Amino acid sequence: MNLTPEEAERVTEGATRKSKWLPSLYIQVLIAVAIGVIIGWRRPEMGIAMEPLADGFVKLIKMLIGPIVFLTVVVGIAGMKDLKKVGRVGGKAILWFELMTTVALLIGLGMAHLFTPGSNVHASVNGLDTSILDKQLSGSRPHGFAEHILAIIPDSFVGAFTSGNVLQVLLVATLTGTALAGLGERAAGFVKILEQFAAGVFGIVGIVMRLAPIGAFGAMAHTIGKYGLGTLGSLAKLMATFYGTALLFVFVILGAVLRTQGLSIFKLLAYLREELAIVLGTSSSESALPRLMGKLEGLGCAPSVVRLVVPTGYSFNLDGTSIYLTMAALFVAQALGVHLTFGEEVKLLLVLLLTSKGAAGVTGSGFVTLAATLSATGSIPVAGLSLLLGIDRFMSEARALTNIIGNAVATIVVARWEGELDLERARAVLDGRHRPP
């Protein structure tokens, strides 16, 4: 059973079809977010108690990410049959990811220099309470180049699916898909079985997505209840700078990229509004990964390209996280009065080009990645990250939203680059003249 774009869209959304009396999932999530903000604001203790609702939804999605990435990448690579094409598409994707990641890092660095969000904080390392920070960063994370490479290799084939590391699943899937593609017709039957499994997993995703409004409500109620709206005011300059930079990146940089493809960033955002609402509510771009793949196939991107580029992008193309990393690093330096030399900033960028990979769209991953980076460079005290604890969750929404938009644009670009984008169909879908079944 080959999943055409129409079938992928139908499988992804089939189980989330709304009853006639229910609003769309997009409206449901927005309403849930609004209610969560009110509950967290007016009843903080009740809001904090809603955390299990958010954690439960995200855990359900994370439970499915490993199988989704494995099945879609394997089927995508095996479906290409031509291993040269697999290498060509993968190479183009990695090249684009590196380009956009570098641009995002540089923009974050430049905006931090321009607006100096930490210049008026005047904090001291000795006066910081790092007890919460120590708890937040209790998990180990590789620091050096060799450690990062070795961390991609799972201890066992099955271990890749239990480690929670998307890169390990991606490695296993790439090897499996390449092997099956090399076998040609001898593996055709097995590939069809994997396609059927993929259809079943996407069906499960559809069922789980019905809980998206509950997860969004729990996440927002807990965040507002725990940190309070007052927290936003204390570090408003940093948040405003970061959100403004993320908007600049999306509408100017990614918008210009789409214009070269003859498409509109505004129409693409409208097309992906339900996925963006889910990401906004849960602060995790992973929560919308399955639906994003279905939407991009429905838009006219070849399934084989979507199934290879999107999962890879979730580990290698984190534009929002990249902006956050450089901006937050300079904020901490400015707040602590640490003056970085040009060489130290270059070193910071080079380390971030490595550590930003694999910080998949799970809430808080950007924060942990930043800690690993500061520890590796040694020029900025890691203890300074305690200044960000109160607002990191509020900033994670912008990170996740920028990440998912960046991956959508990347997939469109690679598909067009490869001649695997039905441009007329894409324009018709974005204009509302054609709706995928």
DSSP assignment of 326-393 equals HHHHHHHHHHHT----HHHHHHHHHHHHHHTTT--SSTTHHHHHHHHHHHHH-SS-GGGGGGGTTTHH
Q: State the pLDDT at residue 292.
A: 92
Give strand pairing partners of 339.
none
pLDDT category at 371 given cuts 50, 70, 90 is confident
Longest dimension (CA), the chain: 67
Shortest CA distance to 173 belongs to which of 154, 200, 187, 188?
Answer: 154
The answer to whether residue 212 scores a pLDDT higher than 90 is: no
Mean pLDDT of 5-33: 60
Q: SS3 of 249, please? A: helix
Selected residue with higher pLDDT from 256 and 161: 256
Burial class from Cβ neighbours inside 10 Å (0-12, 13-18, 19+) for residue 75 reads: buried
Residue 196: alpha-carbon gap to chain centroid: 26
Domains within the chain, CATH numbers bracketed: 5-431 (1.10.3860.10)
Mean pLDDT of 219-231: 75
Selected residue with higher pLDDT from 248 and 185: 248
The answer to whether residue 111 scores a pLDDT higher than 90 is: yes
| HSE toward the beta carbon, residue 39, CA cutoff 13 A | 21
Q: SS3 of 77, please? A: helix
Residue 93's identity, in one-letter code, is: A
Instruction: Report the C-alpha gap between 220 and 208 in whole angstroms.
Output: 19
Q: State the pLDDT at residue 102.
A: 92
Count of Cβ atoms closer than 10 Å to residue 276 Cβ: 22
The alpha-carbon radius of gyration of the chain (Å, integer) is: 21
pLDDT category at 167 given cuts 50, 70, 90 is confident
Per cent of the chain over pLDDT 90 is 23
Burial class from Cβ neighbours inside 10 Å (0-12, 13-18, 19+) for residue 251 reads: middle
CB 327 within 8 A of CB 112: yes
The answer to whether residue 13 scores a pLDDT higher than 70 is: no
CB 374 within 8 A of CB 355: no
Q: Quote the strand ranges of 41-177, DSSP E.
A: none
Instruction: Report the C-alpha gap between 287 and 281 in whole angstroms.
Output: 10
pTM: 0.76
Q: State the pLDDT at residue 166.
A: 72
Residue 236: alpha-carbon gap to chain centroid: 24
Q: State the pLDDT at residue 375.
A: 74
Q: What element of type H or E holds 69?
A: helix 51-80
Instruction: Report the C-alpha gap between 326 and 36 in whole angstroms.
Output: 31
| HSE toward the beta carbon, residue 119, CA cutoff 13 A | 7
Residue 200's identity, in one-letter code, is: G
Instruction: Report the C-alpha gap between 433 and 387 in whole angstroms.
Output: 49
- Three-state secondary structure readout of 157-171: CCHHHHCCCHHHHHH
pLDDT category at 89 given cuts 50, 70, 90 is confident
Residue 59's identity, in one-letter code, is: K
Count of Cβ atoms closer than 10 Å to residue 368 Cβ: 17
Evaluate the CA torsion angle 55, 58, 61, 67 in order and state its sign.
negative
pLDDT category at 256 given cuts 50, 70, 90 is very high
Count of Cβ atoms closer than 10 Å to residue 78 Cβ: 27
The answer to whether residue 37 scores a pLDDT higher than 70 is: yes
**Which bin fits 116, alpha (ψ -120 to 50), beta or left (φ > 0)?**
left
| HSE toward the beta carbon, residue 271, CA cutoff 13 A | 30
Selected residue with higher pLDDT from 321 and 202: 321
Q: What is the pLDDT of residues 303-326, one digit of tens each?
A: 889 988 988 888 788 898 889 889
